[in-house]
Amino acid sequence: MNKKLVKEFLIITFVIMLIFWGGCALISQIFNLTINNILLRIMHIIGGFSPTIASYISLKRNNKVKNLKEWLKKIFDIKHNIWTYILVILFVLIYYVLGCAINGFKFGAPIFMLIVILPMMLFGGGNEEVGWRMILQPELEKKFGFHIATIFTSIIWWLWHLPIFFIIGTANANMNYFLFGIMCLTLCYALATIRKVSKGVFPCILTHCLINGLSAIFVFNYSLLSCCITLIVTIIVSILILNINKRYIR
C-alpha cells in the first residue's frame, strides 16, 4: 500500500470537506438557511468534489499521473467487456428491486428523465469514485484484503458525508444516519466488486450515477429491514461474482 498517497488523498479530501460542507452546515444551522441559498449551494457543490480534487492533486504529487489529460484518461476508461456492464446493471437492480419490494415505492420523475438526470449525476456523486475507488479501495486492498478494505472505505465514506446531514434542505437532512451507514457499506461492496473485476473506475462512476439518478424516479423510504437484506444479498452476490471471476473469467 502506498501510505503517502492514501494519507495525502484523505487529508486533502477531509480538509476541503470540512471547510465547505462543515462551513455550509454551520451557516445553515446558525442562520436557518436552506440549501437553496446560493452561497450554501456553491459550498455544497465544492465540498462534494473534495474526493475528485484530492484525487488529482495526490496522484500528481505522487507521480501517478503526469497531467490533467492523463488523469481524465484514467477516469473515462469506458472500454470494458460486457461482463463488467452486466455487473453494473445487476447491482443497481439488487439495490432498487429489494428496496422497492420491501418498502413500497412511488414514481417521482418520469423514467425518460434519466436521460437528463444520469449525466447530471456525474457531478452529483459519480465524481467521487475517482477518489474512493480509484485510490482508496485498491490501495487498502493491497494491505488488508478485499473485505477489510471495503469495510474501511465504507466507514470513511460514511463519516465524510456527516456534515450534509446538518444542511437544511438536503435529501440527507431527512435521512437516518445509521441506516445511511448500512447503505454506504452495501454500495461499497457493490462498487468494490465492480472495481475489482473491471480494474477501472468508469464502471464505478456509472453505477454511482445510476443509483443516485434512479432515486429521483423510484422513490421509497429506507427501513432497517430493507437496508439489512440489501446488504446481505449484495455481499453474497459480491462473493459469488469474485469467485466466478477468479475461476472462469480472468
pLDDT of residue 105: 85
Q: CA quadruple 39, 54, 235, 202: dihedral positive or negative?
A: positive
For residues 152 and 26, the answer to whether their CB atoms sit within 8 Å is no
Per-residue pLDDT of the chain (250 residues; tens, 9 = 90+): 899 999 999 999 999 999 999 999 999 999 999 999 999 999 999 999 999 999 999 999 999 999 999 999 999 988 899 999 999 999 999 999 999 999 888 888 787 777 888 788 777 788 999 999 999 999 999 999 999 999 999 999 999 999 999 999 998 888 999 999 999 999 999 999 999 999 999 999 999 999 998 888 888 888 999 999 999 999 999 999 999 887 765 5
Write out the three cell numbers for 156: 470513511
pLDDT of residue 113: 79
For residues 177 and 165, the answer to whether their CB atoms sit within 8 Å is yes
CA–CA distance, 74 with 68 (Å, rounded to integer) = 10
Say whether 107 sits in a helix, a strand or coil: strand
pLDDT of residue 248: 64
Angle, nearest 10°, between helix axes 82-103 and 202-214? 20
pLDDT of residue 221: 85
Please give the sequence-ordered ranges of beta strands (E in DSSP) within the chain, or none if there are none: 106-107, 218-219
pLDDT of residue 189: 97
